[in-house]
Amino acid sequence: MAYTERPMRRSALIGPWGIGAIVPFPNDESLMIAGLDAWRYQDEKAFIITDERLTQRLGVKELRWPPDFRERNADKNNCNLKIPAVRFPRWHYCPFCGYMKQATYYQKQPECDGPPWKTGRVCSLNGKYRKKMIPERFIVVCPEGHIDDFPIADWIHYDSGHAYDETKCKIRRSTGGASANLTGVFYECTCGAKKSMAGATTKGALEKIEYRCRGAKPWLGIYSDDTCRQDTKDIKVLLRGATNVWFADTKSSIYIPTENEMINRKIAGILRKHYDNLISRREEGEFYEQIIDYLAKSEGVDPEILHQAFISETEKRNGIMDVSEDMSEDQYRQAEYKVLIRTSGSDGQYFHSINHPIAEYDTVIQKYFKSISLVPKLKETRAMVGFSRLEPNEKSISEKKRELRLGNENWLPAIEVFGEGIFFEFNKQIMERWGQNKAVRSRIEMLNSSYHKSNFGKQVQGNLRPEFVLIHTFAHLIINQLSFECGYGSSSLRERIYCEKTSNELDMWGVLIYTASGDSEGSLGGLVRQGEAGHLEDTIVSALHNALWCTSDPICIQSSGQGPESLNLAACHNCALLPETCCENGNRFLDRGVVIGTLEDSDIGFFSELNFT
């Protein structure tokens, strides 16, 4: 927490707020979270998060919890820690007389000490001006990540016949008129210059007043570095609360147990001696469990620990722990996919998955899936690696990390949350055959048309795959149904897709639906129980049956593009969209049509042959 009167959850510092974000606090106060150079720990060891894979992926020495306020009796070495912040925007105005003042990044919230401006409004109390001033709504944002106050003085003095003198000119802000748009916001100066905000957000408005980006980085304490060469026409005037002022860039990881957690010298010796025999028996499916039991009994070790040590050693030899900063997100997830499609981990570890062949489930869903894995225990680590403004970007991890600090310390802020989940492994052969259907590919072409015009499509080569759109939409439909049936709030459930968007080099065909909300909802057990045979079949059928008709149909099902940048087809808030915290793709790339079919072609859906009655 920053202060007792300005509380903030530590998880919020990874998203939706974080370094460089403008946080609105009560009492009309606006602060920006400062860079990592200003984060202080008396004893950082108590805040370190252990996740070997994610640490390697991000190229850092360690991950740390954000500092938090602690009672002295609870932790004498880490008491009264605070999250640092700077004041932004700097321009403030008095809500009574309109007098404006420009603060610094580091001072307290300004108070009005200006004249009454002969307006009839008096903001003084007993002759003293002590009214808290309100931060200005308008700011300018650069695509390079720079952010600054709207140039109010330049705006009202340009082409006014008056020169701005910072030592003499005093600016007043006022609102009036029946209009609620920018024409109702006026600025006037004691020198006589006066102008409204009309036209300030239009293209070319900043070029007209010869504005140039100063390269300001308030979160790092930089007023100007004069290095930005961004074209002024690309700099935007925004409200400080606009959603495109700040986009968090976070990387998450499902914790996978490593060999170091289990292998002691005795077990390591058993594996060195018998590994080749064990791997051949396990691949052939003959006597593996009997051999494990025999070796464990003869050597005096626990059979389950020996089994898990063997699994971890196999993962190591298969390159599961071979992680680098340059690998793609799909390559990183492949290791998780390999442990999710089989029984892995144990209840005594942070990860435990139990794989069930689809033959254990009712025949109604057997055609569409290969297996279902129940995950009664998992740990997710989420780390903040950077942020962007105006639009999400695809800069490298090393480039993004440089925006978080000026120094050379080698750590990143992160949180860890615990939960449970259900993993769906789709039938590869059925899905590939469906994806080659001409009608399916023709429908996805409509989505690709919008995709290549969007910011996302410009950064990635290739076309969206029908299989990815299908798995993603199925995940949304299942989350909606699970939140209804097992009591979780929809915002508590998340998706983690194991399927490449535009290529199929890694051969992944699954999705994990899990809860990792960081509170008591992460351990209720209802999600795993709903994934058991006898329950899951009804959930899937009900989700698909509900998707057959949307309250916005036929408009929704016949849509050729809706949602952000028209990157959805048949998907709207009444059928397939979820809270932003649930979706990895910002509620984009969704289409009910590829799941259950359309009005014109009911056979186009992957699940169109399923009996919904």
Residue range 21-78, pLDDT digits in tens = 999 988 889 999 999 999 988 888 889 998 888 998 999 999 999 987 665 555 666 6
- Cα separation, 173 vs 149, in Å, equals 15
Q: Between 545 and 72, whose confidence is greater?
A: 545
Confidence category of residue 124, pLDDT binned at 50, 70, 90: low
**Quick one: DSSP state of residue 110?**
P
CA distances for 551 relative to 95, 561, 572, angstroms: 45, 17, 10
Return the structure tokens found at 58: 């991000």
Per-residue pLDDT of 191-247, as tens digits, reads 889 999 988 988 888 998 989 999 999 999 999 887 888 899 889 999 999 989 999
Q: Around 488, how many Cα atoms within 13 Å sit in the side-chain half-sphere?
A: 33
**Tens digit of pLDDT for each residue in 320-362?**
557 778 888 999 999 899 999 988 887 878 889 999 999 999 9
* Residue 521: band (very low, low, confident or very high) from pLDDT cuts 50, 70, 90: very low
What DSSP string runs through 216-281?
Answer: -BGGGTBS--S-----GGG-EEEETT-GGG-EEEEEEEE----GGGT--HHHHHHHHHHHHHHHHH
Distance CA 247, CA 249 (A): 6
Residue located via tokens 């609102």: 175
Q: Is the pLDDT of residue 262 over 50?
A: no
* Number of Cβ within a 10 Å radius of residue 103: 17
> What confidence score (pLDDT) does residue 14 get?
87
Res 71: pLDDT: 56
**Is residue 148 pLDDT above 50, yes or no?**
yes
Express each pLDDT in 580-594 by its tens digit.
Answer: 888 999 899 999 999
pLDDT band at 275 (very low <50, low <70, confident <90, very high): confident
* DSSP 8-state class, residue 384: E
pLDDT digits (tens, 9 = 90+) for 383-396: 999 999 988 877 88
Beta-carbon contacts of 484 under 8 Å, excluding residues fewer than 6 positions away, are none
pLDDT at 458 over 90: no
**Exposed e or buried b per residue across 7-33, where buried means at least 16 C-beta atoms within 10 angstroms of its C-beta:** ebebbbbbbebbbbbbbebeeebbbbb
CB–CB of 35/405 below 8 Å?
Answer: yes
For the chain, the distance separating the N- and C-terminal CA atoms, rounded to the nearest angstrom, is 52
d(Cα 470, Cα 377) in Å, to the nearest integer? 27
Beta-sheet pairing, 91-93 with 510-515: unpaired
Chain mean pLDDT for the chain: 86
Token representation of residue 101: 């003042």
pTM: 0.83
Give residue 210's identity as a one-letter amino acid code. E
Fill in the amino acid letter for 229.
R
Range of 43-52, 94-103, 136-145, 263-272 with top mean pLDDT: 136-145
CA separation for the pair 534, 515 (Å, rounded): 21
Q: What secondary structure letter does DSSP report for 523?
A: G
Distance (Å, whole) CA 591 – CA 470: 7
* ∠ CA 408-459-558, rounded to 5°: 135
Quick check: 292 pLDDT over 70? Answer: yes
Is the predicted pLDDT of residue 160 greater than 70, yes or no? Answer: yes
Cis peptide before 466 (omega within 30 of 0): no
Contact 475, 497 (CB under 8 A): yes
Query: How far, in Å, CA of 109 to CA of 114, rounded?
Result: 15
Q: Is the peptide bond before 554 cis (omega within 30 degrees of 0)?
A: yes
Looking at the DSSP bridge assignments, the partners of residue 93 are 100, 134
166-170, 399-403, 523-527: least confident range: 523-527
Q: What is the DSSP letter of 62?
A: E
Alpha-carbon gap, residue 364 to 160, rounded angstroms: 75
- Which of the four pLDDT bands, split at 50, 70 and 90, describes residue 3? very low
